[in-house]
Every structure is written in structure tokens, then in C-alpha cells.
Amino acid sequence: MKKKATIISIVLVTILVIGIYLFLCIGYILYPIRYKESIITYSQEYDVEKSLVASVINAESSFNTKAVSSKGAIGLMQIMPTTAKWLAEKLNIEYKEEYLFEADYNIKLGTYYLAYLENKFEDTTVVLCAYNAGEGVVQGWLNNIQYSKDGKTIDVIPYSQTEAYTQKVLNSLKIYEKKLK
């Protein structure tokens, strides 16, 4: 009887250890962190939460500098070339489309854009919707009582892709807060 209890204990401990290992592996795969220095530098420079920047990068490209969307958005933070050119002009820095594949440059522009959207919209969900769907589209949602009761927050996100994107970013904020301590 004692031998059976010992075997059961060993099996349970083994299952627990394997479970913890798998949990950590899945966390690493689902929530990677790269380019930490650039994320921290530009988050501080533009006063944006570093966990928000990392969460956006994860949702946009899974930290892949070579990512290009079907609509033409480029790099880690999936910035459209026209938006990137406008951002570079506002920052008074040189713009070349190929720079968008460089992690530091892309994070600088993307973080600046998040700061711009935060100053314009204030609410994080609205900021994320604007980052994903475009600020003009989101301004239209805010002006429509069907989507926003107060004109400042969004009650209903009419694009399912934007709703899923926003939820993904918001869900990963706490994880990236811990990873970026």
C-alpha cells in the first residue's frame, strides 16, 4: 500500500512539473519579448506604457521585423508606409520604406503614433481601435450613437477584426507588464 502511494505521488509530481514546464513554454511562445531596449527607450521618450508597446508588437507581428500585411503594413508594429512617412515628418527624421523593417526605427515610429493617438483619444480601447482601423474610422464610430454613447469611448466595435485585435492587446498587457519589469 505504501509503495502504491509513493508511485502515485511520483506520478502527480511528474505531471505537475511537466504542466509547469508546458505552461512556461506556451507563455514564451505566445508572449515573446524582443527589442526590450527600444521598447523601453521610446516608451519613456513618448510617455507610453511599455507593456502597451510590447502588446501591440505581439498582436501586430509576433515580434517579426519582416512582417508585411496583405494591406501593406510593414514591420514589427505594422505601420502603413503613408502613415510612417507622415510620422517621420512629424519627428523630423529621414524616411525610407525599407527603414520600416528595422526594429528600432519601427518601434520609434509606432510608439510615437501610439502617443499621438493617446493624446487624441485618451481611452486605451479607442486608441487601439484607431491604431488598427484608422483614426478617421474610429472618429466616425465615436460620432455615431450606435457605437458610442458619450463620444469618447466605444461601446460597440463594429469591425470584428478590430474587436479581436483590441481584446488580444488588452489581454496581454498584464503579461508584458511582468516581462518588462
Domain boundaries, given as residue ranges, for the chain: 1-30, 35-179
Looking at residue 79, the DSSP 8-state letter turns out to be B
Query: CA triplet 10, 12, 14: central angle to 5 degrees?
Result: 70
pLDDT > 70 fraction of the chain, expressed in percent and rounded: 85
Q: What is the pLDDT of residue 14?
A: 63
Catalytic annotation, residues? 60
- Neighbour-count burial for 83-105, b at 16+ CB within 10 Å, e otherwise: bbbebbeeeeeebeeebbeebbb
Which residues on adjacent β-strands are paired with residue 79?
74
Per the prediction, the chain carries an average pLDDT of: 91
Q: What is the pLDDT of residue 20?
A: 53
* 101-126 mean pLDDT: 97
* pLDDT digits 0-9 by tens, 10-55: 765 666 555 555 555 455 667 899 999 999 999 999 999 999 999 9
User: What is the dotted CATH code of the domain comprising 35-179?
Assistant: 1.10.530.10
Q: How far apart are CA 72 and CA 58, in angstroms?
A: 18
What global pTM score does this model have?
A: 0.87
